[in-house]
Amino acid sequence: MTAIGTDSSIQKLSREQLVLFDYIQDIIEYPDEALIEELDDEGIETVEQFEDAFAGSYDGHGTTSPEAQFCEELVSDCGYLENDLPSFISDHIDYQEIWDCELRHDYFTIEHRNTSLFFSRHF
């Protein structure tokens, strides 16, 4: 067991958790023991599981929630809007509704330092 801490409440991390902690330092700003514990609570215990599950981090912009931002990027990345969908349609897609009704069942979020981290439930 190795101790890593950024505050006075240092927790002990297992070797596997330490490897995961070291890995995510390049991906997530300011990871800490609490984040590692939350990942562990969701079943993400290894680098491989993290790689399979992690879908991105979003902090929203303007009036757009992180969930809506995630959904918009996912829909775009999947190519669902590539067929020259007219703007009078594409400008009125409710990405928050897509999250609330559909994608929240397939993804979960962890709030970390004012950022929403998105993970697939199917890893």
Q: Which residue has 């979960």 as its token pair?
A: 108
Q: Residues 5, 40, 52, 118: what is their CA dihedral angle, to the nearest 10 degrees?
A: -80
* Top-confidence residue, 33 or 62: 33
Residue at 76: amino acid letter: S
How many other CB atoms sit within 10 Å of the CB of residue 52?
Answer: 14
* Top-confidence residue, 62 or 3: 62
How far is the CA of 114 from the CAs of 1, 6, 28, 66, 110, in angstroms?
Answer: 29, 17, 12, 10, 10
Rank 10-14, 37-41, 86-90 by mean pLDDT and report only the highest. 37-41
Domain boundaries, the chain: 2-120
Instruction: Please write the tens of the pLDDT for every residue from 51-93.
Output: 999 999 999 888 899 999 999 999 999 988 877 888 898 889 9
